[in-house]
């Protein structure tokens, strides 16, 4: 039997992901991360926390790490995902050099971090210019968010109690302060907050309906951002460059020769 978790930590999300609702969320996020990371190229990629989801499974970078705070948890996730394990004490102090990573994935890390702003600053430090960040989170502006809000009053919590869920507009503001532009955003898991797999399957039709009619009310979101550096300009092939034309030359005359020719005519 698992011991109750009272501290604010992403560890609280691990047991929750093993339940029916957690598997529903995990399957959607895994499919979305596979789609986003398959066309991101580079050399070094890192997933911070939550080994229950292998966000780098579809990525083809040669060096991939899973950074977590507990060796017993990360070892199981790394063996199935083919990622190297890097154990740290705090996600706000990543063991990577400045400007050394092409891709960083934060699956629900900011919601359970003591200092989410510091985690983002640390990610900005280790990312190279034009490096990419992918953030997964629960959407407070959803049916699940409303259920969680009422659960804080009644005591019947639907999502992990220790999380402080961040809205997408708020996350965009944080990223903007770090000169990170949001490139893509996706919402999913539109089913009502049901506790059983049977009822979740009955609402499968709401995935397509939600994407069409209420796309910003999904229970889970994935946001992709790119690190921008001021004053930096990417130089590509000069396909449209016009050919340069040299100015026309002005013929020079010899004064002595001109005077000689003039005297000869006289």
Q: Do the domain assignments include residue 2?
A: no
Q: What is the edge-to-edge ordering of all strands in the sheet holding 84-87?
A: 84-87, 63-68, 44-48, 101-107, 127-138, 220-227, 180-188
What pLDDT sits at residue 228?
93
- Backbone CA torsion sign across 64, 70, 71, 76: negative
Total domains in the chain come to 1
Token pair recorded at residue 259 = 């005077």
Question: In this predicted structure, which of 4-18, 28-42, 133-147, 232-246 has the lowest mean pLDDT?
Answer: 232-246
Please write the tens of the pLDDT for every residue from 45-80. 999 988 889 999 999 999 999 987 764 444 444 444
Q: Do the domain assignments include residue 254?
A: no
98 half-sphere exposure, CB direction, 13 A CA radius? 2
Yes or no: say if 171 and 135 are a contact pair by the CB < 8 Å rule: yes
Structural domain containing residue 92 = 21-229
Q: Do the domain assignments include residue 9?
A: no
Please write the tens of the pLDDT for every residue from 9-32. 666 688 888 899 999 999 999 999
Over range 145-162, report the average pLDDT: 80
Q: Do the domain assignments include residue 115?
A: yes
Nearest Cα residue to 20 out of 155, 201, 205: 201
What pLDDT sits at residue 263?
52
Token pair recorded at residue 147 = 């259920």
**pLDDT-above-90 percentage for the chain:** 45
Q: Do the domain assignments include residue 33?
A: yes
CATH code where residue 159 lies: 3.40.50.150
**pLDDT-above-70 percentage for the chain:** 76
What pLDDT sits at residue 58?
94
Burial class (CB in 10 A: 0-12, 13-18, 19+), 92: middle
Residue scoring higher pLDDT (210 or 202)? 202
Q: Do the domain assignments include residue 8?
A: no
What pLDDT sits at residue 2?
43
What pLDDT sits at residue 5?
35
């Amino acid at each position: 039997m698992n011991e109750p978790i009272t501290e604010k930590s992403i560890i609280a999300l691990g047991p929750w992901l093993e339940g029916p609702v957690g598997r529903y969320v995990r399957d959607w996020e895994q499919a979305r991360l596979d789609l986003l990371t398959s066309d991101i190229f580079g050399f070094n990629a890192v997933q911070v926390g939550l080994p229950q989801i292998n966000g780098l499974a579809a990525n083809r970078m040669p060096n991939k790490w899973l950074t977590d705070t507990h060796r017993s948890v990360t070892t199981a996730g790394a063996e199935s995902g083919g990622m190297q394990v890097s154990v740290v004490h705090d996600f706000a102090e990543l063991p990577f050099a400045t400007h050394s990573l092409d891709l960083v994935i934060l699956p629900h890390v900011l919601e359970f971090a003591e200092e989410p702003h510091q985690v983002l600053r640390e990610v900005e430090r280790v990312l190279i210019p034009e490096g990419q960040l992918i953030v997964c989170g629960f959407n407070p502006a959803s049916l699940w968010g409303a259920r969680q809000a009422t659960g804080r009053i009644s005591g019947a919590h639907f999502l992990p109690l220790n999380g402080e869920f961040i809205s997408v507009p708020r996350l965009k503001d944080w990223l903007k302060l770090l000169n990170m532009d949001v490139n893509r955003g996706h919402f999913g898991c539109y089913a009502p907050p049901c506790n059983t797999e049977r009822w979740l399957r009955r609402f499968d039709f709401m995935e397509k309906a939600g994407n069409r009619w209420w796309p910003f009310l999904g229970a889970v979101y994935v946001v992709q951002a790119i690190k921008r550096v001021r004053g930096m300009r990417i130089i590509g092939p000069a396909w449209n460059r016009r050919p340069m034309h040299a100015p026309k030359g002005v013929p020079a005359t010899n004064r002595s020769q001109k005077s000689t020719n003039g005297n000869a005519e006289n």
